[in-house]
Amino acid sequence: MSKPVLYLTRQALRMLLDIHTRSIKQWGEATADRYVADLYAVMNKVAAEPSLGNLRKQRSLPFLMVPAGKHFVVYDCIKTGVVVVTLLHQQRDIEHIIADMEPKFLAEIEAIKKTMKT
């Protein structure tokens, strides 16, 4: 069996950079580095075991979520692993943010799936 693949959308990458930048300003570089490493550890765990996430029941989107520190990793399962669509602070209005970005998330996931077929 091949190793599961972890894909990150552009939004997820931007969020990781933002989280790291804000964390450096607030707690210093060492703490920021550890926190981002912890986020990556959760994302890799999810890639290995996609069923860990909670299905966003009664929601319009099929994404799964798992807590990671003070954030949620929001992801979708694909044939070879998972696509992390974004990381959101647990105190944010997650439903509203995801609903606003739905078309962009779905289009990027489809683009990733197409590249896997070539």
Give residue 105's pLDDT: 72
Separation of alpha carbons 85 and 115, rounded Å: 17
For the chain, 118 residues long, give each residue's pLDDT as a single digit of tens: 578 889 999 989 999 999 999 999 999 999 999 999 999 999 999 999 988 877 655 454 678 889 999 999 989 888 888 999 889 887 767 676 676 766 677 777 777 777 765 4
Give residue 26's pLDDT: 96
Does 17 fall in a domain?
Answer: yes
Separation of alpha carbons 30 and 10, rounded Å: 25
Does 118 fall in a domain?
Answer: no
Residue 8 in tokens: 């990150």
Does 24 fall in a domain?
Answer: yes
Report the CATH number at residue 18. Answer: 3.30.2310.20
Number of domains in the chain: 1
Query: What is the residue range of 78's domain?
Result: 5-113
Task: Considering only the C-alpha atoms of the chain, give the largest distance between any 2 of them, rounded to a whole number of Å.
Answer: 44
Does 30 fall in a domain?
Answer: yes
Give residue 102's pLDDT: 65
Does 83 fall in a domain?
Answer: yes
Residue 55 in tokens: 């299905």
